[in-house]
């Protein structure tokens, strides 16, 4: 089966060690996690992890079921890129002089709709949000001018399918065992 990029969203109880339990499922099968982001969700005490991997769908399905099997995982789902709205943020630290010299660098920043976050005598920090291809394109163009530092966040993603986490949690809380 063909490998594709999938976004896996894992909703868990907010407890110490959870990230470890989640990543073990991937490392056991030697699956590389391309990016990961952790944050709160819209529901108090439920955290969400957003992971990006490239795998065959069949494998992704199995992994998601094994994630859901973890006692403190509330829900795990996977989506193709077309089923999520997603974004990443990248920060670039470049020498301030290359921007002041009136050359190409400034044009590049404008053309990419990037923002200048902070200007210091020695360096300037630029921010760009977008998909990885977009933040990478800016990187590639700025790099010849001297890249002092670069960082890109993990993907954060909102799923398009409409069932809300709240309704899922409410259903789970209703069930009596």
Partner 1 sequence: MNFKMNNMKAIEVKNTIPKQGLMTGSQAVVQSIIAEGVDLMFGYPGGAIMPVYDALYDVEQELTHVLARHEQGAVHAAQGYARATGKVGVCIATSGPGATNLITGIADAQIDSTPLVCITGQVASHLLGTDAFQETDVVGISMPVTKWNFQVTRAEEIPLAIAKAFYIARSGKPGPVLVDITKDAQFEEVDFNYVPFTGMRSYRPKPKLDLDSVKAAAKLINSAKRPFILFGQGIILSKAEQEFKAFIEKTGIPAAWTILGLSALESDHYLNVGMLGMHGNYAPNKLTNECDVLIAIGMRFDDRITGDLGRYAKQAKVVHLEIDPSEVSKNVHADVAVIADAKEALFELSKIVEENNHSEWLNKFRTLEKEEYVEVIENELYPSAEKMTMGEVINEINIQSDHNNIVVTDVGQHQMMSCRYFKFKQTKSMITSGGLGTMGFCLPAAIGAKMGQPNKQVVAVVGDGGFQMTLQELGTMFQYGVDVKIVVLNNEFLGMVRQWQEMFFEKRYASTTMVNPNFQTIVSGYGITTKKVENRDELADAIKEMLNHKGAYFLEAIVGKENNVFPMVPTGASVSEIRLK
- Minimum separation from the CB atom of position 77 to partner 1 (A): 14
Interface with partner 1 (CB under 8 A), residue from 1, 2, 20, 161: 20
Quick one: which of 159, 51, 136, 149 has its CA closest to 89?
A: 136
The size of the interface with partner 1 (CB under 8 A), counted in residues, is: 23
Report the alpha-carbon distance of residue 52 to residue 132 in Å, rounded: 12
- From 19-27, 91-99, 108-116, 152-160, give the range in contact with partner 1 by CB under 8 A: 19-27
Q: Which of 3, 5, 28, 131 binds partner 1 (CB under 8 A)?
A: 28
What is the x/- site pattern for partner 1, positions 71-90, by CB under 8 A?
xxxx----------------
**Secondary-structure breakdown of the chain: helix, strand, coil percentages, each rounded to the nearest 5:** 35, 40, 25
Smallest gap from Cβ 40 to partner 1, in A, equals 16
Long-range pairs for 13-19: beta carbons < 8 A, 24 or more residues apart:
13/45, 13/46, 13/47, 13/72, 13/74, 14/40, 14/45, 14/46, 14/47, 15/72, 18/47, 18/72, 19/49
User: Edge-to-edge, what's the strand order for the sheet holding 3-13?
Assistant: 35-40, 46-56, 3-13, 73-80
Q: Smaller CB distance to partner 1: residue 72 or 149? A: 72
* Contact in structure between 77 and 9 (CB atoms under 8 Å): yes
Residues 30-69 contacting partner 1, CB under 8 A: 62, 65-66, 68-69
Distance of CA 106 to the CA centre of its chain: 28
Q: Is 17 in the site for partner 1 (CB under 8 A)?
A: yes
Q: Under rule CB under 8 A, which residues in 113-152 are in contact with partner 1?
A: none
Instruction: Name the residues that contact partner 1, by CB under 8 A.
Output: 12-13, 16-17, 20-21, 24, 28, 62, 65-66, 68-69, 71-74, 169, 172-173, 175-177
């Amino acid at each position: 089966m063909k490998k594709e990029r999938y976004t896996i969203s894992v909703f868990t109880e907010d407890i110490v060690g959870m990230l470890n339990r989640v990543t073990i499922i991937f490392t056991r099968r030697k699956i590389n996690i391309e990016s990961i982001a952790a944050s709160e969700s819209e529901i108090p005490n439920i955290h969400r992890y957003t992971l990006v991997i490239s795998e065959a769908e069949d494998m992704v399905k199995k992994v998601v079921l094994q994630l859901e099997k973890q006692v403190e995982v509330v829900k795990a789902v996977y989506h193709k890129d077309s089923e999520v709205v997603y974004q990443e943020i990248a920060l670039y630290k470049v020498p301030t002089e290359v921007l002041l010299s009136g050359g190409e660098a400034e044009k590049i920043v404008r053309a990419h709709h990037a923002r200048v976050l902070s200007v210091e005598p020695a360096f300037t920090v630029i921010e760009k949000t977008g998909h990885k291809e977009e933040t990478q394109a800016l990187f590639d163009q700025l790099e010849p001018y001297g890249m002092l530092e670069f960082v890109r966040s993990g993907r954060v993603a909102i799923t398009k399918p409409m069932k809300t986490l709240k309704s899922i949690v409410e259903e789970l809380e209703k069930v009596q065992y």
